[in-house]
Chains A and B, each alone.
Chain A
Amino acid sequence: MNVRSDFPLLVNNPGLHYLDSAATSQKPKIVLDALRTFYETANANPHRGAYALSVRATECYHQARIRIAEFLGVRDSDCLIFTRGTTEGLNLVAGSWGMANVASGDEIVVTAMDHHANFVPWQALAMRKGAKFRVCELTPDGKIDLEFLSGMLNERTKVVAFSHVSNALGTINPVTEIARLVREKTDAIIVCDGAQSAPHFPVSFESLGVDFYAFSGHKMLGPMGIGGLIGKREMLEEMPPYQTGGDMIEFVHDDRTTWNVLPHKFEAGTPNAANAVGLAAAVEYLDNIGMENVRSHSRQLMAEAQKRLEAIDGLHIYGPPASERSGVLSFTLGDVHPHDLATILDGEGVCIRAGHHCAQPLMRRLDVPATARASFYVYNDESDIDALVAGIMKAREIFGYVSA
Chain B
Amino acid sequence: MSQPRTPAEISALYQEMILDHYRRPRNKGLLEKADASVEMKNPLCGDEIGLQVAFQGNSVCDLKFSGRGCSISQASASMMTQLVKGKSTEEIDAIRERFRNLMLGKASDEDDSQLGSLRALSGVARFPARVKCALLAWNALESALAERSS
Q: A residues bordering B, Cβ < 8 Å?
A: 9, 12-13, 15-16, 335-340, 343-344, 346-349, 354-356, 360, 363, 369-370, 394, 398-400
Contact = CB atoms under 8 A, between A and B. Distances in A.
B72 A346 contact: no
Contact of A369 (B6, B69, B72): B69
B42 to A, nearest CB: 10
B14 A398 contact: yes
29 contacts: A9-B1, A12-B1, A13-B1, A16-B4, A337-B70, A339-B70, A339-B130, A339-B133, A340-B72, A343-B10, A343-B13, A343-B127, A343-B129, A346-B5, A347-B5, A347-B7, A348-B4, A355-B44, A356-B45, A356-B46, A360-B46, A363-B46, A369-B46, A369-B48, A369-B69, A370-B45, A398-B11, A399-B19, A399-B71
Given A15-B4, A370-B46, A344 B14 contact: yes
A136 to B, nearest CB: 23
A18 to B, nearest CB: 11
B71 A340 contact: yes
Taking each of B10, B47, B72, B130, which has the highest tally of chain A beta carbons within 10 Å of its own beta carbon? B10
Contacts of B127: 343
Nearest to B6: A347
Interface of B: 1, 4-7, 9-11, 13-14, 19, 23, 44-48, 68-72, 127, 129-130, 133
Which 5 A-B pairs have CB atoms at the shortest separation, nearest pair first?
A: A369-B46, A337-B70, A347-B10, A347-B5, A339-B70
Contacts of A15: 4
Given A347-B9, A370-B45, A398-B14, A337 B4 contact: no
Nearest to B14: A398
A337 B69 contact: yes
Contacts of A12: 1
A349 B129 CA distance: 16
Nearest to A360: B46
A370 B22 CA distance: 17
A400 B130 CA distance: 21
Given A339-B133, A369-B69, A399-B19, A344 B45 contact: no
A71 B133 CA distance: 43
Contacts of B1: 9, 12-13
Nearest to A355: B45
Contacts of B23: 335
Given A9-B1, A347-B7, A356-B46, 11 more contacts: A335-B23, A340-B71, A343-B5, A343-B10, A346-B4, A347-B4, A355-B44, A355-B45, A369-B69, A399-B19, A400-B19
Taking each of B1, B44, B70, B127, which has the highest tally of chain A beta carbons within 10 Å of its own beta carbon? B70
Nearest to A342: B129
A370 B44 CA distance: 10
Taking each of A340, A344, A394, which has the highest tally of chain B beta carbons within 10 Å of its own beta carbon? A340
Contacts of A340: 14, 70-72
Contacts of A338: 70
Contact of A339 (B4, B6, B9, B45): B45
A392 to B, nearest CB: 14
Contacts of B13: 343
Taking each of A9, A343, A349, which has the highest tally of chain B beta carbons within 10 Å of its own beta carbon? A343
A346 to B, nearest CB: 5
Contacts of A354: 45
A284 to B, nearest CB: 27
B132 to A, nearest CB: 10
Nearest to B11: A398
A343 B130 contact: yes
B21 to A, nearest CB: 13
A123 to B, nearest CB: 16
